[in-house]
Structures are given as structure tokens and as C-alpha cells.
Amino acid sequence: MRRRVPLPTRAAALLAAVALGATGCASLTTAATEVGGVRMSDERPVRDGGTLTVALKSDPDKLDPSLGSTLVGRTVFAAMCQKLYDTDADNRIRPQLAAGMPEVSDGGKRVVLRVRSGARFSDGTPLDADAVRTSLLRHRDLPASARASELEPVESVRTLDGNRVELRLKEPYEPLLGALADRSGMVMSPRALKKYGEDFATRPSCVGPFRFKDRVTGDRIVLEKDPHYYAAEDVHLEKVVYRTIVDGNVRLANLRSGDAQVSDQTAPLEVQSALTDDTLQLFNSPTLGYQGLTVNIGNSRGLGKPPGKVDSALARDKRVREAFALSLDRRLINKIVFQGMYDTACGPVAPSSELGTETRCPGRDLERARRLLKEAGEKGRVPVELTISNTVEDMRLGQVVQAMAKDAGFQVRLRPTEFTTLLEHADKGDFEAVSVGWSGRLDPAGNIDAFAGTLGSENRSGISDERIDGLIEDGRRTSDPAERKKIYRDLTEAVNGQYGLIYLYRQRNYVVANEDVAGLRVYGDGLIRVETAGYGGGTEAGDR
């Protein structure tokens, strides 16, 4: 066994117990379970036919591109709702439903998009410029739209002809292309929008290799091959089923039994177990996102509303929030909870991103944390309620945070809940601190603006700071990469200084699949792409 480094705090016993409970016999990585290099795709030949069952870590939220905000939801969208642009294995943006890259003029304030010809939505409606216009305006204007912040700079959208859309911007907006390569670029059937309105999520219709068939909330989502898809001849599978299986061990057991063929967001312990099984294969890619804690400092009215007063010790005094952050040791969290298989994070922009910058992680400093609490007038243990997902891995994280924070003078009470319910509470402002993350975007604005801008559509913390808002605007209208890199370095520093978002770690995208599954792709965005997936020639797996 690998020798453990003793922990230098009173929390050592509890942290060791958490690690022991997580591993059964405190086993760590061995030569047999070493994760190899990056592997994003499987290029083996694929036969036609079969059903692929993908086991998801949590239940997706609404299957509405304007309203959705979960990674598991994006994974389902990847199979049925294509975007104007997409990203490839090299994190480059390429056209998908657009017929080419945007034509930009008027100092960056006029953007013309050409739309792919010959495509149809799953309900048979033709894709055209008017459909794109309808979706873009809905993303921008629909009440409670999670895309509103991304498209707020768009002043107007009009069709020039059947295949061209013109966007007029209030000012140059560099993050636009990155936004259109995600849910803001998903185009929905105007017929379905008119027919179902606010209930679009119950009968979603987009352009994609698969179309929606059925959903049983909390259990499964069923998609079937879409005969209207413009490249249907390249799609091998007849059906894709997404099953919600919260427990990672159970997801892995389902792969071994053949009841599922792919497991998303596989935790490090399950990855190590899978590596000892020659019937399974691993996909491994670096992430663009982050995971951490969001502290409610002003979200008293819900998302999209002006910040108000929140009555908690963390909200009242920034020194208390800083003390809480200083009680945490990112390196040990990664080692104990995630077997050292993730990366520490100290900001919203991944170092691997084009505009990423190295952000120095503050070390654990209990002496300063206790001094800050004393300066803030806090006596006794400061109570903190931490809302956390009820998965085994997230509960371990909560226990480690609980133990570490106790050494600084905090009394953390865990509030475990199902993930979609957790998001609902977070959106409403019904939390004190919550463990939540973001799967990441290519442009750093996609990791910051909506989360830290005063009226950002994902600003669950309720952060409101003039300097942050000003830097967000600077990042949007600046085109020079070197200048933008400096802006986002300053912006990261400003956001960190509020301690409303405490970044802890970056996951790696670990996806485990049965060995007979071929053609699967998992890029840096973490999405499981099944358009070219299927089963190797001659295998009968998945036909059950």
C-alpha cells in the first residue's frame, strides 16, 4: 500500500475514517488501476442496430434548451438537439446547423449566420432562418431563461432570407460564438413551440440524430432514431435510453450485468474498479469546468432578481466567508475524496482553455481563519448549512468539508437532497451554501458572466459588485486575446475576493463503457456523443 501522509489537524481521525469508508480498505491507485492518457473517441467499425443504455449520475432537469442547466441534460441534448455550432476534440468551434462561420461587420456589431439547407426538425418542420430567429429570441426573452445573460447583448434578430439570419448587437460581443456552440445555439421546432408553449420540455423537438419518444421522471428518457435527420444514414443505433442511477457502484454493476452499456461522470473509485475489468473501456478527457461551493450572499428573491439581504453569518460578513474558504484544503480534498484523480481549482477558467491563466490556490490557513472570525465578532461555532447532492461521492465531499471547517470554528450541518431538487432550492435562494459546479465553456465568459454578474441568469450567490460587472463588460467587447486574458485574470481575482463562489476542484471526464461499444466520443465538454456510436460487428449486446 502507498504510505499515507499524516493530516496535521484535529480533523485527521474523521478524514481518515471518511477515506477508509470510501475505499473499504483504504486502497489507493496501483499499477493495475493507473489511468492512461487522454482518450476521447473510439474509431472501431460499427454495425447498424441495437439499443444503447446510458446510465446518468442524476436526473436531467427540463428538456428545454432555454431553461435547462444540468450537465446530464446537456448529454441528452447532444443526441437530439443540435446547435448552430459545435466543438471538436481540439476545443475548436465548427459549424453544425450553421452553414459556415459567422460573417461579422460594422465593428463587430452586425453578425450574419447562414443556416444549413435540407435539415428538418423531428416533427418534420423544415429548418430555416425564421426557425433560428424564433429560438434565439426565445432564449433571450423567455422568463426564467438560463440563456438570457448569454444573449443579452443581442439587440435584434431578423431574417434576411430563407437561409440567413442577421443579429444586431448593442456592442461587440466576443463570447457570442461560444454561446452559440452551446444551448443558446440550439434551435427548436417553431411548430412544437407554438403547440406546446411552456410545456415544450414534455415534447421537445429539435434537429438531431435521435428524437424524443418518452420520459419517466427520475427513471429514464427514451430517444429513437430520427428518420428526418439530414445524416440519418450515418446513425447506427435504433434507440438510446438514458437511465438515472445515482449510485456510481450501481451504475458500474449495471454495465457488468449488461443492463447498461455506458456510465457517465464515473467517480474515481469506480474508474479504478473498471480498469481491472477487461470487459470495460475508459474514456478520459480534461474538463473545461469546475466544482465548488456557492455561498448565498444576496439571493433573497430568486435567480434574475435584484440581490437583497440574506440573514446568515456567511452572508453578513465577507470575513466569515473568507475564513470558511481558508478552512479548506483543496489538495487533501482531491486526495481523500477523489483519490487524487481530479485537479485542484482556484478559479472559473480552466488552465487548459485558450484564455486560461494559472491561478495560485490559497493554502489552508486555520490561524488566519480563526482571526477573521474573531474580527467579525463571531463567538462559538459559526453555524453553516451546506446543501449537497445525496450521491455517495458528494456526501463524502460534504463530510470532509464539515470536518475541515470544524477546525476553524464552523459547525457545518449537511442538507443532502436529490440533485434537481438541489438546483431548484439554489435557484430560489433557499440555501446558505450549496455544493454545485459547472461543466465549462470554451470562452471564459461562459464560466463567469452568468454566475457573477449582478443580474446573471445563473447567479445563485447573489453577487453584486460594480468592479466585477465592469470587467465582465470589458471582457465581452475586447477582441485582443492578450487583453482578454488579462481581463479574465483580473476578473477571477475580483470574483474570488467576494468569496461567494469558492472553487475547489476540476473533475476529469471519466466515462466507462462496455468493450463492445464502438464509435463513442467524449470531448472536453464532457458530453457523451452517440451519433456515430453503436456495437462492433457481430456482437449482439444492446439488442435486448
Residues 6+ apart with CB under 8 A from 445: 174, 175, 178, 472, 475, 476
Please, which residues have CB within 8 angstroms of residue 294's CB and are 6 or more apart in sequence? 426, 431, 433, 434, 435, 436, 460, 461, 500, 501, 502
Helix (H, G, I), strand (E, B) or coil at 427: helix
Structural domains of the chain ordered from first start: 39-81+208-287+512-544 (3.40.190.10), 83-187 (3.90.76.10), 308-506 (3.10.105.10)
Q: Residue 467 and residue 473: Cα distance in Å, rounded?
A: 10
List, in order, residues 6 or more apart from 455 with CB less than 8 Å away: 149, 304, 306
Angle, in degrees to the nearest 10, between helices 392-408 and 318-326: 110
pLDDT digits (tens, 9 = 90+) for 404-452: 999 999 999 999 999 989 999 999 999 999 999 998 888 899 999 999 9
Contact in structure between 70 and 147 (CB atoms under 8 Å): no
Choice among 3-7, 80-84, 218-222 with the minimum mean pLDDT:
3-7
Nearest-angstrom CA–CA distance, 183 and 440: 12
pLDDT interval class at 540 (50, 70, 90): very low
d(CA 533, CA 436): 30
What confidence score (pLDDT) does residue 297 get? 97
| CB 127 within 8 Å of CB 98 | no
Q: What is the pLDDT confidence band of residue 14, given thresholds at 50, 70 and 90?
A: low
DSSP run (H or E) holding 255: helix 248-257
Section 9-36 average pLDDT = 48
Residue 211 has pLDDT above 70, yes or no: yes
Confidence of residue 37 (pLDDT cuts 50, 70, 90): confident
Residues 6+ apart with CB under 8 A from 142: 66, 67, 148
User: What does the pLDDT read at residue 7?
Assistant: 41
103-114 CB burial, b ≥16 within 10 A, e <16: ebeeeebebebb
User: Average pLDDT for residues 151-167, to the nearest whole number?
Assistant: 97
Half-sphere exposure of 229 (CA within 13 A, CB side): 25
Asked if 462 and 296 count as a contact pair (C-beta separation under 8 A), the reply is: yes
User: Residue type at 425?
Assistant: H
**pLDDT per residue over 362-413, tens digit each?**
899 999 999 999 999 998 999 999 999 998 889 999 999 999 999 999 999 9
Tell me whether residue 31 is exposed, middle or buried, using C-beta atoms within 10 angstroms of its C-beta: 0 to 12, 13 to 18, 19 or more.
Answer: exposed
Within 10 angstroms of residue 413's Cβ, the number of other Cβ atoms is 11
What is the reported pLDDT for 6? 37
Mapping DSSP onto H, E and C, the string for 429-474 reads CCCCEEEEEECECCCCHHHHHHHHCCCCCCCCCCCCCHHHHHHHHH
pLDDT band at 19 (very low <50, low <70, confident <90, very high): very low
Q: What's the distance, CA 453 to chain centroid?
A: 18
Contact 342, 508 (CB under 8 A): yes
226 within 8 A of 120, measured Cβ to Cβ: no
> Which cell numbers in the block locate residue 487?
481581463
At 16, give phi and psi (nearest 5°): -65, -35
Contact 416, 398 (CB under 8 A): yes
Confidence label for 283 from pLDDT (cuts 50, 70 and 90) = very high
Whether residue 486 is predicted with pLDDT greater than 60 in this model: the reply is: yes
Selection from 303, 527, 289, 304 nearest residue 423 by Cα? 303
- What pLDDT, on the 0 to 100 scale, is given for residue 97? 98
Closest CA to 504 of 375, 405, 370: 405
d(CA 300, CA 289): 26
C-alpha cell at 435: 455544493
Instruction: Confirm if 506 and 438 have CB atoms less than 8 A apart.
Output: no
* pLDDT at residue 287 in the model: 86
Can you tell me the distance from the alpha carbon of 44 to that of 47, in angstroms, rounded to the nearest whole number?
10
- Rounded mean pLDDT, 167-195: 96
The 3-state secondary structure of 128-189 reads CHHHHHHHHHHHHHCCCCCCHHHHCCEEEEEEEECCEEEEEECCCCCCHHHHHCCHHHECEC
Q: What is the pLDDT of residues 66-104, one digit of tens each?
A: 999 899 999 999 999 999 999 998 888 999 999 999 999
Q: Is the pLDDT of residue 235 over 50?
A: yes
Write down the pLDDT at residue 450.
92
